[in-house]
């Protein structure tokens, strides 16, 4: 059974550009969440999608957005990139929502903004 | 207050010995889940073990066990017979329901180094 797949794995962007990251959850998983990981701030929750609707959002500016498609695949977009957006972006999926549900992560997308 | 606290930024353990990574949590929700993840330098977060707040027994998964002490709000990870491949960052996490939604909280992590 394939795990969570994130693309691209590595990318370099210039300040001011925008970037789109993609996440394919484990087959059958309908909940997808995104996290940003930096050495200084650790792991921070970005947003969670379930049934194509954003159900929860972390404390990030509006430049960070996302969406989920009917097949549960999700994308996140960062516009007007800043140097501080350089981070590992992790996507996670779970079967159903609920505090007892295990979430599984992808390998992440390493974004460098120069 | 911090939802998840990991007080050990770094730990060393000798190969084949056991090691305990500490984690305390803070919640007023009676229903919650506790997780441990391993993150090698490649970046992927690998699920290790899960403990539900209503589970009576400590969770175990192979060499991993979770020492769940509910009254103390502690969920320590015990790795038995450490291997060199266990060297990685380890994150404790908690998932709780907030209204109709869920929120996931991570600790700051513990970097484990296994010495040969």
Examine the pLDDT at A98 and tell me if it is beyond 70. Answer: no
With contacts defined as CB-CB under 8 Å, which chain A residues touch B33?
99-102
Average pLDDT, rounded, for chain B: 93
* Bigger pLDDT: A97 vs B3: B3
With contacts defined as CB-CB under 8 Å, which chain B residues touch A49?
none
Query: Does A88 contact B43 at a Cβ distance shorter than 8 Å?
Result: yes
- Ranking A5-19, A57-71, A74-88, B85-99 by mean pLDDT, the lowest is B85-99
Q: What is the mean pLDDT of residues A45-50?
A: 91
pLDDT band for B101, please (50, 70, 90 cuts). Answer: low
| Interface contact B53, partner A, CB < 8 A | yes
Looking at residue B42, its pLDDT comes to 87
Average pLDDT, rounded, for chain A: 92
Looking at residue A99, its pLDDT comes to 61
Examine the pLDDT at A85 and tell me if it is beyond 90. Answer: yes
Polymer length of chain A: 114
Looking at residue A87, its pLDDT comes to 97
Nearest-by-CA chain A residue for B38: A105
Say if strands A31-38 and A42-50 run parallel, antiparallel, or are unpaired. Answer: antiparallel
The CA distance from B48 to A105, in Å, is: 12
DSSP sequence for B30-68: SSEEEEEEEE-TT---EEEEEEETT-SS--EETTEEEEE
Nearest to A46 by CA among A105, A56, B107, A38: A56
The distance of A98 to chain B (nearest Cα, Å) reads 7
Please calculate the CA angle B44-A13-A33 and round it to the nearest 5 degrees.
40
Interface test with B, best of A7, A43, A44 (most B CBs within 10 A): A43
Looking at residue A97, its pLDDT comes to 65
Query: Does B103 contact A104 at a Cβ distance shorter than 8 Å?
Result: no
Percent of all residues in chain A with a pLDDT value above 90, rounded to a whole number: 76
């Amino acid at each position: 059974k394939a795990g969570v797949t994130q693309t691209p794995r590595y990318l370099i962007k210039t300040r001011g550009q925008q970037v789109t990251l993609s996440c394919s959850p484990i087959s059958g998983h309908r909940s997808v969440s995104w996290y940003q990981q930096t050495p200084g701030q650790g792991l921070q929750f970005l947003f969670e999608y379930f049934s194509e609707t954003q159900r929860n959002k972390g404390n990030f500016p509006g430049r960070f957005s996302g969406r989920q498609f009917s097949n549960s695949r999700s994308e996140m977009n960062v516009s007007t990139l800043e140097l501080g957006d350089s981070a590992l972006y992790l996507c996670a999926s779970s079967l159903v929502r609920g505090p007892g549900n295990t979430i599984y992560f992808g390998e992440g997308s390493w974004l460098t903004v120069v | 207050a911090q939802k998840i606290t990991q007080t050990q930024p770094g730990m060393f353990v000798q190969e084949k010995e056991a090691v305990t990574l500490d984690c305390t949590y803070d919640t007023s929700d009676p229903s919650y889940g506790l997780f441990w993840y391993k993150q090698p330098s490649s970046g992927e977060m690998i699920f290790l073990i899960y403990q539900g707040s209503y589970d009576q027994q400590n969770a175990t998964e192979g060499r991993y066990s979770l020492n769940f002490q509910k009254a103390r709000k502690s969920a320590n990870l015990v790795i038995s017979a450490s291997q060199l491949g266990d060297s990685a960052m380890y994150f404790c996490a908690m998932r709780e329901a907030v209204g109709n939604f869920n929120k996931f909280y991570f600790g700051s992590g513990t970097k484990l180094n296994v010495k040969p």
